[in-house]
């Protein structure tokens, strides 16, 4: 299953990352911090810090953005929350440098990352499906709304699923965001597989989609849906692949219509899309826009949206949905605007733009044909684009360990790959 080449410590760490996501944010945060300390000890010294020749523009833009967050936190109402969240962002930058410096996509993606991540996701999917059928996962966590005294198979009281994540209803997000690069990879290699492997990987990919569907996480299902669609368009026989895709979607649609909870969740989703302003998310988006207008240039400071929102007059106080979220804006662009203002928003996208500019420069000098690793990287590109593109879809807080780590992990895969393509 695995290549016989010696596996490096960095590869072990990156291969096992999904397990730390499952254990929880505390374990993940400890791992990232330890990785940062290792990198600082190994790499940073006075000579490297003063060698501005290798200090590319994207690093400078990130440090400017980081310093801006620290300074803006001094003007936030809740200084400690803002400063703590701002200072903690440096760990993602160092984590990105660690992967760029130590991770080799050519030798590690196909040999280690893909099989290990696939095995982890397979276990998560099985656990979640058992929870869907019985109401309780193998790890002992009950589904939302499940009552032990009414225990039965396919209980209609079972609601959203958490699988091995317990009370945190994020299993769909986990599968979709770790699964997207795998979907791109497997669809790319599909035509090269023997019949047995084709059957196995087809069942595995269907299981990913089905598990996200039953989890009740609608935004995550859109990620999976688009991953399949884009990968099928990019690789292989377009006509044949689209027919398979349509058949799969129709099969999943039939499944949704036969399950009371899933049907209700996706009917609610259609209602939200058609009535976004009146929906629960639309109300939070509206309050985020108002908070942004009152803190136009510099924002409220990280994690200060809620206390600024509570000062606003609710335009529809009789609405059943709250006007203010207790945590964040539930939308990446609105969170960035409300918490960092126009200045922070512009600095962050200058950082992203400088990365894109550097990657295009490297790609311009790359004349070799695309390899299998590139398909995995395309999946990472898709996840990053999904984070950064304005949309009405809800999202977790960008500045937390869980969501932040997924974005920075995929960004570091992309940068590591493009930094090394000309070294082959």
How many Å apart are CA 126 and CA 387, to the nearest integer? 27
Three-state SS string across the chain, please? Answer: CCCCCCCCHHHHHHHHHHHHHHHCHHHHHHHHHHHHHHHHHHHCCHHHHCCHHHCCHHHHHHHHHHHHHHHHHCCCCCHHHHHHHHHCCHHHHHHHHHHHHHCCHHHHHHHHHHHHHHHHHHHHHHHHHHHHHHCECCCCCECCCCCHHHCCCCCCCCCCCCHHHCCCCCHHHHHHHHHHHHHHHHHHHHHHCCHHHHHHHHHHHHHHHHHHHHHCCHHHHHHHHHHHHHHHHHCCCHHHHHHHHHHHHHHHHHHHHHCHHHHHHHHHHHHHHHCCCCCHHHHHHHHHHHHHHHCCCCCCCCCCHHHHHCCCCCCCCCCCCCCCCCCCCCCHHHHHHHHHHHHHHHHHHHHHHHHHHHHHHHHHCCCCCCCHHHHHHHHHHHHHHHHHCCCCCCCCCCCCHHHHHHHHHHHHHHHHHHHHHHHC
> pLDDT 10s digit of each residue in the chain, 424 long?
444 456 777 788 888 999 999 998 899 999 999 998 888 877 765 455 444 445 678 989 999 999 999 999 999 999 999 999 999 999 999 999 999 888 888 878 888 999 999 999 999 999 999 888 888 888 888 877 665 444 444 455 556 788 898 888 889 999 999 999 999 999 988 888 888 888 898 889 989 988 998 887 888 888 998 998 889 888 866 666 666 667 666 666 666 666 666 666 666 667 677 777 777 888 899 999 999 999 999 999 999 999 999 998 888 888 888 888 888 888 899 999 999 999 999 999 999 999 998 888 777 655 555 677 889 999 999 999 989 988 877 888 899 898 899 999 999 999 988 887 655 5
**CB atoms near residue 72 (< 10 Å):** 25
pLDDT of residue 115: 94
What residue spans define the domains of the chain? Answer: 9-42+89-274+365-423
**CB atoms near residue 366 (< 10 Å):** 12
Tokens at 38, concatenated? 């290792």
The answer to whether 59 and 94 have CB atoms below 8 angstroms apart is no
The torsion angle over the Cα atoms of residues 4, 10, 15 and 18, rounded to 10 degrees, is 170
Please choose, from the candidates 151, 171, 155, the residue with its C-alpha nearest in 3D space to the C-alpha of residue 163. 171
Report yes or no on whether pTM surpasses 0.85.
yes
């Amino acid at each position: 299953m695995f290549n016989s080449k010696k596996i490096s410590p960095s590869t072990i760490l990156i291969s096992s990352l999904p397990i730390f996501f499952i254990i929880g944010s505390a374990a993940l945060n400890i791992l990232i911090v330890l990785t940062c300390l290792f990198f600082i000890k190994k790499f940073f010294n006075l000579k490297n810090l003063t060698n501005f020749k290798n200090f590319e523009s994207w690093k400078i833009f990130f440090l400017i953005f980081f310093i801006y967050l620290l300074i803006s936190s001094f003007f936030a109402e809740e200084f400690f929350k803002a400063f703590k969240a701002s200072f903690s962002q440096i760990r993602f930058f160092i984590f990105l440098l660690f992967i760029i410096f130590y991770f080799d996509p050519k030798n590690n993606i196909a040999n280690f990352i893909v099989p290990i991540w696939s095995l982890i996701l397979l276990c998560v999917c099985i656990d979640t499906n058992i929870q869907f059928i019985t109401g309780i996962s193998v790890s002992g966590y009950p589904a939302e709304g499940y009552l032990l005294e009414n225990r039965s198979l396919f209980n209609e009281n079972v609601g959203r699923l958490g699988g091995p994540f317990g009370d945190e209803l994020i299993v769909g997000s986990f599968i979709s965001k770790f699964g997207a690069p795998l979907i791109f990879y497997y669809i790319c290699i599909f035509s090269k597989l023997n019949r047995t492997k084709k059957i196995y990987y087809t069942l595995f990919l269907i299981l990913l989609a089905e598990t996200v569907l039953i989890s009740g996480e609608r935004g995550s299902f859109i990620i999976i849906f688009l991953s399949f669609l884009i990968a099928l368009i990019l690789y292989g026989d377009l006509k044949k692949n689209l027919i398979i895709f349509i058949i799969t979607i129709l099969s999943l649609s039939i499944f949704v219509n036969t399950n009371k909870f899933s049907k209700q969740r996706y009917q609610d989703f259609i209602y939200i899309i058609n009535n976004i302003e009146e929906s629960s998310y639309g109300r939070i988006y509206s309050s985020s826009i108002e908070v942004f207008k009152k803190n136009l240039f510099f924002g409220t400071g990280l994690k200060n949206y809620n206390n600024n929102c509570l000062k606003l007059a609710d335009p529809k106080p009789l609405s059943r949905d709250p006007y203010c979220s207790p945590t964040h804006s539930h939308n990446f662009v609105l969170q960035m605007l409300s918490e960092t203002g126009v200045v922070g928003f512009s600095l962050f996208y200058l950082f992203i733009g400088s990365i894109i500019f550097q990657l295009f420069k490297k790609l311009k000098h790359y004349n070799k044909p695309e390899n299998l690793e590139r398909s995995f990287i395309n999946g990472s590109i898709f996840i990053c684009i999904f984070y950064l593109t304005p949309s009405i879809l809800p999202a977790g807080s960008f500045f937390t360990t869980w969501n932040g780590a997924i974005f920075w992990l995929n960004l570091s895969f992309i940068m590591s790959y493009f930094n090394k393509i000309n070294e082959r």
